[in-house]
Structure 1
Amino acid sequence: MPEQAETLYQAVGGADALSRLSRTFYALVLADPVLAPVFADFTPTHIEHVAVWLAEVFGGPDRFTTELGGHQALLVVHQGLAITEQQRLRWMELMTTAVERELPPDELLRRRVMEYFDWGTRIARDVSAEPVGQDLGSPGPTPRWGWHGLE
């Protein structure tokens, strides 16, 4: 039996795998009539920023915190988007497709990754109901998600 990687970041295949996952996912999103309107202001750099965020969350380098503003910056970009539960669920469906295409065929790994996305999309939905500029308080450091969930 192979030894389990220490972090989800290692298990998914590192930065390259997360970049592929992000590219595959956003290709699906931008073609989707339910989600494309949420991403009206989408830029290609968004794909790389998401991959950097996921790398940090899954136990890789802390580049999102040190270079892109950390947890607070991530939350702020969701303000005012008014994400609906239907959009959140569609996001999860498309991410499931991307995970199946791009991540190793390890059931536990995929389940843990999708648990993070379920948790994170609920937060994004809730924050998206806040008006742009609303003080969100301090969310604390970038969360870390591992083999047992939120660490």
Structure 2
Amino acid sequence: MGESHGSSLYEAVGGRDGLRRLADGFYERVLADPLLAPVFADFTAAHVEHVAVWLGEVFSGPADFTAELGGHQALLRAHLGLGITEEQRVRWMELMTATVEKELPDDALLRRRVIEYFDWGTRIAKDVSASPPGTDLGEPGPTPRWGWDGLA
């Protein structure tokens, strides 16, 4: 499957610039959404960049999230105590799916793989968010990689 595309998901989404557009468009929707806005009460502009850096690493771009922002452990810790509900997770997915449709290239497989990653990741974030801040998460391993065939 990946061979037919001849690039990583990172390249296919447009690299860091494409991921910034995706994150910008998504958080514009989230911050206007009554169900999700409270989850992002501490939102800052830096969050958009951090998300773009995280996704870049996940989609086989530069490993800058691990090198500069604390890696997988830091991402999981950021979700501790948020208490994300299944209703919020589903709404998050609805808004992200709409943003993917608007911001990513018109490539059905690309869009499907990106959405599959977000579905997988939001389930983990929801589970982690049920634990209070400071919870020992153990060693979650390296930043996951997601490609044309899903989780690598």
TM-score scaled by structure 1?
A: 0.97
Could you give the per-residue CA deviations for residues 124-143 of structure 1, whole angstroms, max 9, x where no partner exists?
00000010001000000000
- 1:5·1:11 contact (CA, 8 Å) conserved in 2? no
Report the RMSD for the aligned CA atoms in angstroms: 0.6
Letter in 2 for 1:115: E
Quote the offset at 1:94 in angstroms: 0.3
> Aligned partners of 1:105, 1:5: CA distance in 2, in Å?
16
> Aligned partners of 1:92, 1:138: CA distance in 2, in Å?
27
Count residues in correspondence: 149
1:67 is matched with 68
> Aligned partners of 1:121, 1:47: CA distance in 2, in Å?
17
> Aligned partners of 1:95, 1:79: CA distance in 2, in Å?
21
1:119 is matched with 120
Counterpart secondary structure, 1:56: helix
Counterpart secondary structure, 1:41: coil
1:139 aligns with 2:140: yes
Counterpart secondary structure, 2:5: coil
Quote the offset at 1:6 in angstroms: 2.4
> Aligned partners of 1:21, 1:6: CA distance in 2, in Å?
19
Could you give the per-residue CA deviations for residues 25-73 of structure 1, whole angstroms, max 9, x where no partner exists?
0000000001000001111100100000000000000000000000000
1:55 aligns with 2:56: yes
Moved over 6 A (4+): none
Could you give the per-residue CA deviations for residues 66-88 of structure 1, whole angstroms, max 9, x where no partner exists?
00000000000000000000000
TM-score scaled by structure 2?
A: 0.97
> Aligned partners of 1:76, 1:87: CA distance in 2, in Å?
19
Counterpart secondary structure, 1:60: coil
Letter in 1 for 2:58: V
> Aligned partners of 2:93, 2:72: CA distance in 1, in Å?
21
> Aligned partners of 1:148, 1:4: CA distance in 2, in Å?
11
> Aligned partners of 1:11, 1:50: CA distance in 2, in Å?
17
- 1:78·1:128 contact (CA, 8 Å) conserved in 2? yes
